[in-house]
């Protein structure tokens, strides 16, 4: 058996090498490293895949979120709602722009933002909401869009963990996650579901004006060369990364399928384990399993992780310290309870999941985990 890894990027690369290497070699031999043809091609391929009008490549997922927020032209002190159980980037960029992240608790079964609680936190300064589709399953977008329309909020989807997912509206229409709000953001960090060979990200929108604003901000605020209309940033998706992504995008549905098969095998393996509660699957969205994350309910999560380490089974805690407990966010925290986020930070654990998992390896992982509870 190979060494077990959280994410096996190497085997995936070996499988796709025959297509990726020539695509990269083309960019290198043309030396079109910045805004080369492969980037345009990728933006257009991704927009066709997602069924969205505009895709703008940027340098990483955090920049995507920051530029999306900059495009909204909010005023200092304006408030933006975010879940308190998420990766730091979601809330960090809000604070960086002089806006106020309003951290809201999440749902215990889906780990996604609790809209009932969000409704209690609306003020005259609330201007936007950034739902996160945590671990690869969409937040309840229909409910969020209704809530946003009622309160006149922009919706920016943090789709860094859920690219490729499908969202089913109650009227039966299906749309890709990240395309339902005003703006969608994603990351192509190597371990993400659609990962490149370094940093990368993208922003998507149906809205022509927002798209123009986003392109301008990402390019030093220039509507045309050497004309600077607003303060912008320099954030580009490298052509080399776009070449990798062009190949991998063709595999994205297969990647999701492979991840789902791994998740199903875990679900099955833990069915009779009364100390493990799996993430609830919702009807309105499929799950593309950026992470396979469960709750350990006997208070032994950290001991389980230690034990797994001794058996060479890696595991991760996403996320061990809630945002509102972080020093950097202390000034945005007003003492609300965040009971669920607190509980999740103590109970969640993520097990290895990737596109190259072998069933023999996974059975060893499952058996090792279950054995811990039988001791």
Ligand X SMILES: *Cc1c(COP(=O)(O)O)cnc(C)c1O
* Footprint on this chain of ligand X (rule: CB under 6 A): 60-62, 86-87, 89-90, 132, 158, 160-161, 187, 189, 199, 201
Nearer to ligand X, 90 or 345 (CB): 90
Return the structure tokens found at 287.
Answer: 């799950």
d(CA 211, CA 38): 20
Work out how close the CB of 366 gets to ligand X at its nearest, in angstroms, rounded to a whole number.
25
Nearer to ligand X, 286 or 366 (CB): 286
Return the structure tokens found at 267.
Answer: 């679900």
Nearer to ligand X, 89 or 145 (CB): 89
Return the structure tokens found at 105.
Answer: 């608790």
263-267: Cβ within 8 A, 24+ apart: 263/287, 263/289, 263/292, 263/353, 265/359, 265/362, 265/366, 266/292, 266/294, 266/351, 266/353, 266/362, 266/366
φ, ψ for residue 202 (rounded to 5)? -155, 155
Work out how close the CB of 97 gets to ligand X at its nearest, in angstroms, rounded to a whole number.
15
Angle at which helices 37-50 and 239-269 pack, to 10 degrees?
40
d(CA 364, CA 357): 12
Nearer to ligand X, 61 or 101 (CB): 61
Closest CB to ligand X belongs to which residue?
61
Work out how close the CB of 232 gets to ligand X at its nearest, in angstroms, rounded to a whole number.
18
Nearer to ligand X, 123 or 234 (CB): 234
Work out how close the CB of 273 gets to ligand X at its nearest, in angstroms, rounded to a whole number.
27
Work out how close the CB of 343 gets to ligand X at its nearest, in angstroms, rounded to a whole number.
20
Work out how close the CB of 335 gets to ligand X at its nearest, in angstroms, rounded to a whole number.
25
Nearer to ligand X, 61 or 352 (CB): 61
Inter-residue contact 60 to 189 (CB < 8 Å): yes
d(CA 310, CA 312): 6
């Amino acid at each position: 058996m190979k060494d077990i890894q959280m994410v096996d990027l190497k085997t995936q690369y070996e499988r796709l090498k025959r297509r990726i290497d020539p695509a990269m070699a083309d960019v290198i031999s043309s030396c079109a490293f910045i805004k080369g043809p492969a980037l345009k091609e990728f933006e257009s391929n991704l927009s066709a895949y997602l069924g969205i009008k505009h895709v703008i490549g940027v340098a990483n997922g955090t920049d995507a979120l920051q530029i999306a927020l900059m495009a909204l032209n909010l005023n200092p002190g304006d408030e933006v709602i975010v879940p308190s159980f998420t990766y730091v980037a979601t809330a960090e960029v809000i604070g960086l722009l002089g806006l106020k992240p309003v951290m809201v608790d999440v749902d215990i079964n889906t780990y996604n933002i609790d809209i009932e609680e969000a409704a209690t936190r609306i003020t005259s300064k609330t201007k936007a909401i950034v739902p996160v589709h945590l671990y690869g399953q969409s937040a309840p977008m229909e409910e969020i869009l209704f809530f946003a329309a009622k309160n006149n909020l922009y919706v920016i989807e943090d789709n860094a963990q859920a690219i490729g997912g499908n969202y089913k509206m109650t009227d039966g229409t299906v749309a890709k996650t990240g395309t339902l709000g005003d703006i969608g953001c994603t990351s192509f960090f190597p371990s993400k579901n659609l990962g490149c060979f370094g940093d990368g990200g993208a922003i998507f929108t149906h809205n022509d004006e927002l798209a123009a604003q986003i392109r301008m901000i990402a390019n030093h605020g220039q509507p045309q060369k050497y004309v600077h209309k607003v303060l912008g940033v320099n954030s580009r998706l490298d052509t080399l990364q776009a070449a990798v992504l062009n190949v991998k995008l063709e595999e994205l549905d297969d990647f999701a399928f492979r991840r789902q098969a791994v998740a199903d095998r875990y679900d099955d393996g833990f069915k009779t384990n009364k100390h493990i509660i799996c993430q609830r699957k919702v009807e309105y969205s499929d799950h593309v399993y950026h992470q396979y994350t469960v709750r350990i309910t006997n208070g032994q999560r950290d001991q389980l992780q230690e034990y797994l380490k001794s058996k060479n089974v890696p595991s991760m805690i996403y996320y061990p310290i809630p945002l509102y407990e972080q020093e950097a966010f202390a000034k945005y925290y007003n003492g609300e309870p965040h009971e669920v986020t607190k509980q999740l930070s103590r109970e969640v654990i993520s097990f290895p999941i990737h596109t190259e998992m072998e069933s023999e390896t996974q059975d060893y992982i499952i058996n090792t985990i279950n054995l811990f509870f039988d001791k």
